[in-house]
Amino acid sequence: MRLDGRVAIVTGAGGGLGRAHALLLAQRGARVVVNDAGGAAEQVTEEIVAAGGEAIAAVGSVTDYDFVGRMAAEARQRWGRVDILVNNAGILRDRTFARMDLADFRLVVEVHLMGAVNCTKAVWETMREQAYGRIVMTTSSSGLYGNFGQSNYAAAKMALVGLMQTLGLEGEKYGIRVNCLAPTAATQMMEGVLPAEMLRLLKPEHVSPAVLALVREDAPNRAILCAGAGGFEAARISLTRGVQIATGDDAAEAVAERWAAIIDPANDFVPDNALRQSEMELARAGYAPERSS
């Protein structure tokens, strides 16, 4: 699986997951923009060049849209295109919601969500014009399923899933495919969250093959791929078939009474867009749209 001729931007690539992603993409032939808010981006760039690859460092925060725009422009100027964006930059400010300062909530959302928005916006038109793009959003099981003490992180990570779903729809006809990665890895962000013996099993390098699979030429679109310790799983946001309850004063009581049937996962499905819910509900209610002859 080669990426020769492709140009990739990896954010938060000074260490941990981002570094592992950048090194693997470069090893497979991609030219890589190594982004990080600190000087570690230079070190990773030197590693790639020393191994015979092509890379440039971009030191700055993904929360700064002007910086992000310059980073994307430099990649285009140097290599003529941008094919791959891996939105990996992130921070943690863990605390229970009762004790959390709203400034920390906003900061985490700003880095994870708006950082990804900034970077994606900076390359979106380029990818549309060249009719090719592969974008990876880094979500988390904390967002998909919740995690104690991480309301800010979870909110930002689940928001990235919604962003992925919509951009995957909007970009499809332009050859842009957008997916999510939910990694489990021993990074600096995870220290103190997981026990040390568990962290030793969770090397970032074991996650990066998932990124490669999501940015390949025949990549999927709108997938949520989970990865850690050599394991790979897919997460899905599905919809049950539900039940039909007549409207009326006792509708809420009927919902409670038929709760088990409503949540029954038998025959659940993954809607391909937001309209499928309303279409299913209207059909079950007996509504049939008029067809013109």
**Which of 65, 153, 174, 287 does the annotation list as catalytic?**
153
pLDDT digit string (tens) for 142-176? 999 999 999 999 999 999 999 999 999 999 999 99
**Average pLDDT, stretch 210-236?**
97
Q: Residue 292: which residues within 8 A CB-CB, separation 6 or more?
A: none
Clarify whether 153 is annotated catalytic. Answer: yes
Residue 292 has pLDDT above 60, yes or no: no
What sign results for the dihedral spanned by CA atoms 252, 254, 259, 264?
A: negative
If we measure between CA atoms, which residue out of 63, 42, 68 comes closest to residue 113? 63
Whether the full predicted model's pTM is greater than 0.85, yes or no, is yes
pLDDT given for residue 198 in this prediction: 79
pLDDT given for residue 136 in this prediction: 99
183 - beta bridge partners? 227
pLDDT digit string (tens) for 101-128? 999 999 999 999 999 999 999 999 999 9
Q: What is the 3-state secondary structure (H, E, C) of 141-205?
A: HHHHHCCCCCHHHHHHHHHHHHHHHHHHHHHHHHCEEEEEEEECCCCHHHECCECHHHHCCCCHH
Q: How confident is the model at residue 287 (pLDDT cuts 50, 70, 90)?
A: confident
